[in-house]
Amino acid sequence: MKILITGSNGQVGTCLVNQLANTGHDVLALDRDKLDITDSEQVMSAVRDYCPDVIINAAAHTAVDKAESESELAFAINRDGPQNLAQAAQQVNAAILHISTDYVFAGNKVGSYLESDDTDPQGVYGKSKLEGELAVVSSCDKHIILRTAWVFGESGNNFVKTMLRLAQSRDSLGVVGDQFGGPTYAGDIAAALIHIATAVVEQGNSDFGTYHFSGLPHVSWAQFAQTIFDKALEQSVLSSKPIVNSITTADYPTPAKRPENSRLDTQKITQTFGIAASDWQAALCHLDDYMA
């Protein structure tokens, strides 16, 4: 299987490259220095030259707050880039696997979001990601949209790393307790994408469409932080843990509105591909790897 990975230096991209090493697959991993996905001619040239079986797009503008003041850049990367990749995939009869987000929803539903629920993004990031989804769907017949949430891993910047860093110098922390979601380990996202790529390319699975993949159990950010500190203490990564004070969204204003509810229902991906929800607690068993 020939796999083209974009955004190869990001959280998920790094995991994809690591997990595909020594598997026998032919992998072309490109970061933004090697491929500008917003340049349609550059994308078409790269895809035609390599002629992949599948493109996995792990490139994105994920700075949610910055997107509010960098809307042109956010739409270029999150909408135009995926469209360019999907059009190129269609040209060479490749499948495209594209990562999206819970931010395409309003975040006010009671219960978990289904793939079929109405979208209603509340900010520039969510709007740009939704338009990216629509561009992929309309541009390439063989597409998978994988919506995820609360991504963390050993590389890049994320909530786990931030909490561990702050815990080294603070006795207490205020963490938002009225936003809920499923923390998702980047390595589990990568494994899910590889599983799906294998299914659609090598096994002829044609269940294309949109899927949700995130972690269970669902928690608040404050509960997530508490679990991180408990695990860190158990593993002697921290000598003591700070007190977690649950605060409200109103107590911590940000340029971009955060969803109150980021819970994603993952039953469809389990039923279709046999992929279980991310076990985010298990992914916290080697927290020393997050401290490097």
Check residue 71 and give its pLDDT: 96
Position 176 confidence tier, pLDDT thresholds 50, 70, 90: very high
For residue 125, indicate whether it is catalytic: yes
> What is the mean pLDDT of the segment spanning 175-196?
98
Q: Contact, 183 vs 227, CB < 8 A?
A: no
Tokens of 130: 């939704």
**Above 80 in pLDDT, residue 209?**
yes
Name the catalytic one among 125, 185, 211, 290.
125
Cis ω on the peptide bond leading into residue 217 (within 30° of 0)? Answer: yes
**What separation in angstroms does the CA of 6 have from each of 3, 12, 153?**
10, 10, 18
Q: Tens digits of per-residue pLDDT, 140-155? A: 999 999 999 999 999 9
Q: Tens digits of per-residue pLDDT, 22-76? A: 899 999 999 999 999 999 999 999 999 999 999 999 999 999 999 999 999 999 9
62 — phi, psi (to 5°)? -110, 5
Cβ neighbors of 187 (< 8 A, separation 6 or more) are: 15, 19, 153, 283
d(C-alpha 160, C-alpha 163), whole Å: 5
User: Residue 283 is which amino acid?
Assistant: A
d(C-alpha 224, C-alpha 231), whole Å: 11
Tokens of 233: 């203490």
Q: Contact, 266 vs 216, CB < 8 A?
A: yes
Q: Tens digits of per-residue pLDDT, 102-116? A: 999 999 999 999 999
Position 204 confidence tier, pLDDT thresholds 50, 70, 90: confident
d(C-alpha 8, C-alpha 15), whole Å: 8
Q: Contact, 264 vs 148, CB < 8 A?
A: yes
Domain ranges of the chain: 2-157+184-216+264-280
Q: Contact, 167 vs 232, CB < 8 A?
A: yes
Check residue 291 and give its pLDDT: 86
**Above 80 in pLDDT, residue 292?**
no
* Check whether domain 2-157+184-216+264-280 has CATH 3.40.50.720, yes or no: yes
Q: Contact, 213 vs 184, CB < 8 A?
A: yes
pTM (2 d.p.)? 0.97
